[in-house]
Amino acid sequence: MFNLENVQALVRMAYLPHASDAFGEQGTRAITALLDAVKLIYQRYPPESLRGTLTVVVGMNTTPATPMIAAWGGPTTFQRYEELGNALAVAAVGAHCLIELMQDGTFRFLQLETDIDLQAAAADALIYRYNDGVDRILAKHHDDYVQKVSPILASNFANATLSSLKEALSHYSKFALETKCRILADVWEGGADGPRLVLVNRPESIMRDSLIQALQLVLRDANVRPEHNTDETKPVDVRVEWFASGAAALIEVKWLGRSTARSRNPTTQPTYTDYGPPRAQEGASQLADYLDREVRHSSSTMTRGYLVVFDARRRNVQGAADPLVEADAMHFANDVLLYCPDYAQSRDDFAPPVRFFLNPRKSHFATA
Amino acid sequence: MTSPADIVPEAYFDAAAIMVDAPASIVPMTVIEAHLYAYLGCILGLFKGQAIGDWGYAFAVTSEGFPFSVQFETARSVIVARGLINEDGQGMMSARRDELVAEIDSLLTLGSWADRRLWLHAATQCALALPVGSIRNAIGQTPGLGASVRLGQRRHLLQTDDVELLYEEYGIVSSVLGADVKDLLSPAVIWLSARILRMEDAPVV
């Protein structure tokens, strides 16, 4: 059943009814037009590439001859979304870009050095604002922050829909690098805002859940679900199946680095589990073995194995709160894991292994 | 070969309406996304008092975990074959707008389908507020469905226990949102968002 507090929080920031409340039937129509336009803009120029803010407005009492944003400068008229994308691509660093949707389907575009007063502008307009990963929608006195459905999205209105698992894993690697995923944040002793040197005890299920959530969101027409590893003969962590194609992927998750170990006889001294490259090789061999058995038992006609390695290795690591100099903390950042045997070379159903290096927090580096 | 007698009229109307009314930003869409919107439209109709038995066709979950209707798929294929929807080599569909609008106008003279058009339109508009991947996961999270997907089994959707759960959830959303909200999109997006948040709170199983 639903968490009532969650529902109440969603309703407090519910921009859809707020648009109607502010501007009546016109607001109800305008909000879907606004969201559709924002999504179409982001399909031409993604929010993570913006170098400043983006504001998209629908004026309630404007005409193509009297655009609202003319109050802040002389806007350029565009006819197509491609033109808007090009304009955003060449906008100056730190620029405040304004786009107004007109009733005749055209756009007005303006680039400003100083920001506008959003609340004042919202008195007579429905306004979407993007600034540094935060979506807001304003309508009269309503100022709603849009709750993100996933931290791997820069904006709820800009979702990558990818067909290939390789692309999706590459997409995810950018978020894993700085532990931007809320689920993955729990993987660190001291949290994602701590030094990020030592992993928590048994971190693999957290990594798996983070990866599953990300793949569920970005993979098109694919079902992503965890596998239950009941014993060593079934090591695979994630199964991906594409609709009606017979294609499937099996993902094995391994981690490298140091994690806190939970001793059966608790002592005051922490103990650790350390994994290096042999752990990745072990995962590769387990996956290859499992793929052999999958061929015999699965109805899937095209199953491919993926080894995913979360790499949290630090040179000379001690405890979770013992700072390291940058050279040690980043020593493995660009390391290449070598596999022998290299199944990706010797068999068609084994994809090249993927390594996600997890960065330490730079602000916690020790001074040499 | 599909004969006219094999086509469920409601499914034919729905396949046409989804493609013609979908917001520009969510087309072209895939076949399985069209099934998803049809299924979500059916749930939104349920929220507005439409009996499941009166929807005209049934949904099941495929062994890969997708909501799917055989009758909807038959109807969709006929519309593609008639050239009203273009489908490219990657299975991405887009409407031939003028022809499909004329078809919808003609269909509306044959049946009382104005309400279901609103529900289906709201279903596609949900994808303006939420990524389609999160919508699919949100509506796939019913207890019986989750178990079937894990076991790779097909299962009929909207069975009695599913419907009771949906009513309970929608009741909570409606009570918090208040009686002043008349549109269908607002409660639909909050209901889906609440399901997404619940998934984030719960461990992945």
Domain ranges for chain A: 4-145, 165-364
pLDDT at position A300 over 70: no
Angle (CA) B139-B140-B143 rounded to 5° is 110
Taking every pair of Cα atoms in chain A, the longest distance, rounded to a whole number of angstroms, is 78
Contact assignment for A225 to B132 by CB distance below 8 Å: no
Q: What is the DSSP letter of A155?
A: B
> What three-state secondary structure class fits B95?
strand
Helices (H) and strands (E) in chain B, counts: 9, 6
Q: How many angstroms separate the CA atoms of A20 and A18, rounded?
A: 5
Q: Is A148 exposed, middle or buried (0-12, 13-18, 19+ CB in 10 A)?
A: middle
Contact A169, A214 (CB under 8 A): no
Tell me the pLDDT tens digit for each residue of B156-200.
888 888 888 889 999 999 999 987 777 899 999 999 999 887 766
Query: Of the candidates A159, A182, A244, which has its C-beta nearest B133's C-beta?
Result: A159
Tell me the pLDDT tens digit for each residue of B79-101.
999 999 999 988 899 999 999 99
Q: What pLDDT score does A296 carry?
A: 64
pLDDT at position A299 over 60: no
pLDDT at position B105 over 70: yes
> What three-state secondary structure class fits B137?
helix
Task: Name the percent of chain A lying above pLDDT 70.
Answer: 94
Mean pLDDT, chain B, as a whole number? 88
pLDDT at position A144 over 90: yes
Q: Which chain B residues have a beta carbon less than 8 Å from that of A2?
A: 169, 172-173, 194-195, 198
Q: Is the link from the previous residue into B28 a cis peptide, with omega within 30 of 0?
A: yes
Is the CB of residue A32 less than 8 Å away from at least one CB of chain B? yes
Owner of token pair 């752990």: A279
Q: What pLDDT score does B142 carry?
A: 64
Q: What is the DSSP letter of A183?
A: T
Residue type, B93: M
Tell me the pLDDT tens digit for each residue of A146-174.
988 887 788 999 877 777 899 999 989 98
Contact assignment for A6 to B197 by CB distance below 8 Å: yes
Taking every pair of Cα atoms in chain B, the longest distance, rounded to a whole number of angstroms, is 50
Q: What pLDDT score does A228 carry?
A: 67
Q: What is the DSSP letter of B60?
A: E
Q: B205 falls in which pLDDT band (50, 70, 90)?
A: very low
Contact assignment for A243 to B64 by CB distance below 8 Å: yes
Q: How many angstroms separate the CA atoms of B169 and A196, rounded?
A: 39
Tell me the pLDDT tens digit for each residue of A243-259.
777 788 999 999 999 99
Tokens at residue B183, please?
């549109």
Q: Beta strands A53-59 and A96-101: pairing type?
A: parallel
Q: What pLDDT score does A263 carry?
A: 67
Mean pLDDT, chain A, as a whole number? 91
Q: A23 falls in which pLDDT band (50, 70, 90)?
A: very high
CA atoms within 13 A on the CB side of B21: 26
Task: Name the percent of chain A lying above pLDDT 90.
Answer: 73
Tell me the pLDDT tens digit for each residue of A304-355.
999 999 999 999 999 999 999 999 999 999 999 999 999 999 999 999 999 9
Q: What pLDDT score does B183 carry?
A: 86
Task: Among 3.40.1700, 1.10.10, 1.10.1220, 3.30.70, name the CATH number for the domain at A4-145.
Answer: 3.40.1700
Tell me the pLDDT tens digit for each residue of A86-142.
999 999 999 999 999 999 999 999 999 999 999 999 999 999 999 999 999 999 999
The residue of chain B with its CA nearest to that of A212 is B204
Q: Which chain A residues have a beta carbon less than 8 Å from that of B169?
A: 1-2
Q: How many angstroms separate the CA atoms of B152 and A320, rounded?
A: 42
Q: Please state the rounded mean pLDDT for residues B1-17.
A: 87
pTM higher than 0.90: no
- Torsions phi, psi for A356 (to 5 deg): -105, 105
